[in-house]
A and B are shown apart, each in its own frame.
Chain A
């Protein structure tokens, strides 16, 4: 077992860090405050090849392994969870259905611009009545001649208002709960596709989230990904991939929390000495460092298994579960270390805590992760 990162992985981390420090750090607070999508930074990420890292160069990607890609997500999230998440959801959730299950034409036509960062992707699975209960969806796709007609409402779609390509899921056979859902590619501008309400969120505010409404939306039948009925399988597989990204994002947020808390504790003087000399604070910092290290190796492992072509679903779930819960816990501790200042706008830790919460919810709530993990234990 070689636990060391390769020099190339270290360089990817270093250069992603440099990108984040140069382009993201200066605007992170502002885009959070204004819920503004940092289109100019996403464009630069695209130009730098950061938006399609794990995909084959044949389809515009960089061909790096998943561990390397996840490291980049962590490092970007360390500066801004919203920007890191945008990269992760685009790569892990929106691109993967096409990359893993799409045919040659779909990869050429849709994956390539997505991987190059020329287009932004969105993954529209969740519905108002179907969160953890994916099967509770009501969207339908009816084959009519050479077209599928989509009807339904998707919600909490990240990148919803700004995406160029949507990957969505709808019942082609509502009777078959296991193999009745299918996956479709819907380009922006398709008549019948509209962006609904925007959500103003507690955290990752720069990430744009909205409803996506399909009303008699007609798409060519070539836009079906895989076979009819593959939808659930595709969704679950992509969520496994996406979870690695979220775990990495959570570690990035936690690392940022530790960075902030460590620096502050060394300089804040109370009772004539820095608060870092107090054991209570030291223990909080120790716990942060421990959990961050543990979380990091968990997502490395899940990514490593995926790279080896081995099953990684359980490991991805565990990583996501652990990293998200520790991230929120430690972001809260970081605010605690900052005291009153940590509760105020303008401090990074205030934003980190608000950003951290969502990691326990999206791409499978902690409860859903526990169901998956328990399920695999008790099979």
Chain B
């Protein structure tokens, strides 16, 4: 019986992995096993959402880092070797996946953007290389075929009904010698646009300085930062120079960039060429920014931005 395994250190990410895991398991004609740290209730949730089996990781000492689960997971995977093993690409997940892959003597596709299973049961996995400018397609020659999956790549699986499944408790998370001394949560106040994961960028299309209010609101909803093109900082002084993105200003690498009222001239776009996803809102369908965007909304920004804000508040 071919098994697809999934592991995520964050429960929500685990539910996302169920979606793809179940799909692969079905394609293989096999079953889905989820490894997770949690209680019986969470395990049952996972089963309801599609897992056929859940392996519950043992409790850790308060000073044990989560990475101490690696030997436990490795042992379980050696006992009942899976065909495919997907792990969530959180910081923790990526580390653990590499260590697990090393112990299992198998290959791992990190930050897999896309995967396709062929008739022979082989995965063809895409990932970005060379600063995001190139896409590498890989296949794994060994078993289990492993990949780390970026957060939110897939929808969270949801449970309609109660399903049956096996829940097993794993044991023995032996201390590795690494001890946690302190944990501190991230401080949200000090962000500059260079570190911003989401950037909402305003351009010439904005008529008045007051219009920046809705840009700020959008940015806040997306937990992002506000930036601008040259005219808004240098000429109009609506925003400080440090928020200006462009050839001779800041170059940024956000996960998401939304250019609003920006035509997309090269001097500016060069500053965001490494962005994960580029979105554009512009009333001119011929605006060059659409050539460089992944998502483009053709429309009046004064109509679109408020609607976007409403939709995100939902």
Binding site for B on A (CB under 8 A): 29, 264, 267-269, 341, 346-348
- Identify the closest chain A residue to B244 (Cβ): A346
Q: Which of A264, A346, A348 contacts B234 (CB 8 A)?
A: A346
B291 to A29, Cβ gap below 8 A? no
Interface centre among B230, B234, B267, B269 (most CB of A within 10 A): B267
B266 to A267, Cβ gap below 8 A? yes
Given contacts A346-B248, A348-B248, 5 further A-B contacts (CB under 8 A): A29-B248, A264-B266, A346-B234, A347-B247, A347-B248
* A contact residues around B266 at 8 Å (CB): 264, 267-269
Can you pick out 8 interface pairs between chain A and chain B where the beta carbons lie within 8 Å of each other?
A29-B248, A267-B269, A267-B270, A269-B266, A346-B248, A347-B247, A347-B248, A348-B248
Binding site for A on B (CB under 8 A): 230, 234, 247-248, 266-267, 269-270, 288, 291
Nearest Cβ in chain B — how far from A143, in angstroms?
A: 55
A347 to B246, CA, bound (A): 11
* B contact residues around A267 at 8 Å (CB): 266, 269-270
* B contact residues around A341 at 8 Å (CB): 267
Nearest Cβ in chain B — how far from A343, in angstroms?
A: 13
Known: A29-B248, A347-B248, A348-B248. A269 touches B270 (CB 8 A): no
Nearest Cβ in chain A — how far from B54, in angstroms?
A: 51
A29 to B241, CA, bound (A): 14
- Identify the closest chain A residue to B291 (Cβ): A269
* A contact residues around B267 at 8 Å (CB): 341
* B contact residues around A347 at 8 Å (CB): 247-248
* B contact residues around A346 at 8 Å (CB): 230, 234, 248
* A contact residues around B248 at 8 Å (CB): 29, 346-348
A346 to B230, CA, bound (A): 10
* B contact residues around A268 at 8 Å (CB): 266
* A contact residues around B230 at 8 Å (CB): 346
* B contact residues around A29 at 8 Å (CB): 248
Interface centre among B230, B266, B269 (most CB of A within 10 A): B266
* A contact residues around B291 at 8 Å (CB): 269
A268 to B247, CA, bound (A): 12
Nearest Cβ in chain B — how far from A369, in angstroms?
A: 34
